[in-house]
Amino acid sequence: MIKVINYQDNYSNIIDNEEKNYWGKWDKTSIKDLKDKYAIFKIVLKDDDYAGHLYGKMIGDLFYFDVILIKEQYRNQGIGSYLLKILIDELKKLDCKNIITTAEYIEDNISLEPLLLKYSFEKIIDINGFWGSIYPKVYCEECKSRPCKCKAAVFLKRI
């Protein structure tokens, strides 16, 4: 059974570890430090086991989601899709007008793109050197550069 819950502190260590495993050791931000009154955090459970999470912030009538991360063993099982559907339904109730996110290219592909397109997100721009502009002092294992020269895309969904 799949269910989505709001953020709970007892999942913070699991979330922090999953993010460090995915993004590497340079990610030193704890999920606990990102909470504020504008944040929306969702955790997805499969058979009561942590399967992934999503979070972002309301900015006026726009929601920027910063992260959607599904635990590797649960990918390609519809869990990310379910999580995104629940989020969109909740944002409609909050009178959100737009959802925006960024997604990185890995070897000329955006792994998140099929999911975003399924939910009518539109790719509006590609950005070269995206992560390097945010983290100029970080050496990127993906592109083997400092600052990172990886590319990302910005996606928009109008509600």
The DSSP annotation for 21-88 comes to HHH-TT----GGGG--TTEEEEEEEETTEEEEEEEEEEETTEEEEEEEEE-GGGTTSSHHHHHHHHHH
- Please tell me whether residues 51 and 115 are part of one structural domain: no
pLDDT at 149: 79
Q: Are residues 111 and 86 in the same domain?
A: no
Same domain, 38 and 115: no
Structure-derived torsion over alpha carbons of residues 57, 100, 90, 71, reported in degrees to the nearest 10: -80
Could you tell me the pLDDT band of residue 2, with boundaries at 50, 70 and 90?
very high
pLDDT at 26: 55
Query: Which band of pLDDT confidence, cut at 50, 70 and 90, is reported for residue 71?
Result: very high
Q: How does residue 93 score in pLDDT terms, banded at 50, 70 and 90?
A: very high
Q: What is the dihedral of CA 42, 48, 52, 58, to 10 degrees?
A: 0
Locate tokens 């519809």: which residue?
78
8 A C-beta contact, residue 110 and residue 129? no
One domain, residues 66 and 107:
no
Say if residue 123 is in the same domain as residue 84.
Answer: no
**Together in a domain, 59 and 106:** no
Residue 110 is part of which domain span? 102-159
Q: Are 85 and 118 in a shared domain?
A: no
Same domain, 81 and 55: yes
CATH number of the domain within which 20 lies: 3.40.630.30
**pTM, rounded to two decimals:** 0.84
113 shares its domain with 38: no
Final residue belonging to a domain, choices 77, 96, 115: 96
How many distinct structural domains can be found in the chain? Answer: 2
Report phi then psi at 18, rounded to 5: -60, -40
Other beta carbons within 10 Å of 60 = 9
Domain co-membership, 87 together with 107: no
Give dist(CA 127, CA 12) in Å, integer.
31
Tens of pLDDT, residues 100-125: 999 888 777 778 899 999 999 999 99
Quick one: 153 and 129 in the same domain?
yes
Boundary residue ending a domain (73, 96, 119): 96
Same domain, 6 and 71: yes
**CA–CA dist 80, 70 (Å, integer):** 6
